[in-house]
Amino acid sequence: MKPSYIDFDNSGYDWKPDIDYRAHPEFYHVGKGEQGVLICEPYKSEIGKFWRFKTVAIAEESSRKIFDLFNNYLDKDDFVGADMARKYLQMGYTRARRYANYKGGKKYDADHNYKPLERGTGDPEKAAAAAVFYDKYKAAEAEPKYATLKKQWKHERG
């Protein structure tokens, strides 16, 4: 089975790189998981520059900065910004786990018909970095104001 990013059809993707989602939040979709996280500007540029997980110490600093941005967006009632920050926290967890599970973070062997590579060959420190991001991601999801804004957003906009 090939990874989902192979032969991906961008034309049907809800998130577009040429939209300013702060100026036009009406075009933003919550989506599933981390969808849109590497596309939605200006949030991608504001949050992405802090997203790092090479070591536990770096993950702690990174997740703290992103969680601070999450709270700042909430203080401004900027749901799109808060949701994007939450997605970066989630992505910190999932990408660090990928590097913990697979050497070099590669899950599939592109040279052999995308055969899954052997699990358990990755960097153990990335597992600890993933745990740091997981705690912040769960804290963001549990934030009452975020939960309220998300529920309202999905009810009004899908």
Residues 124-142: tens digit of each pLDDT: 899 999 999 999 999 999 9
Cα distances from 88 to residues 77, 78, 85, 124, 130, in angstroms, run 18, 16, 5, 21, 12
Entry pTM: 0.86
User: Residue 5: how many CB atoms within 10 A of its CB?
Assistant: 7
Please name which of 16, 14, 27 lies closest in space to residue 153, comparing C-alpha atoms.
27
Q: Which two tokens stand for residue 36?
A: 């849109």
DSSP bridge partners of 4: none
Q: What is the mean pLDDT of the chain?
A: 89
More confident residue, 132 or 99: 132
Cα(94)–Cα(20) distance, integer angstroms: 26
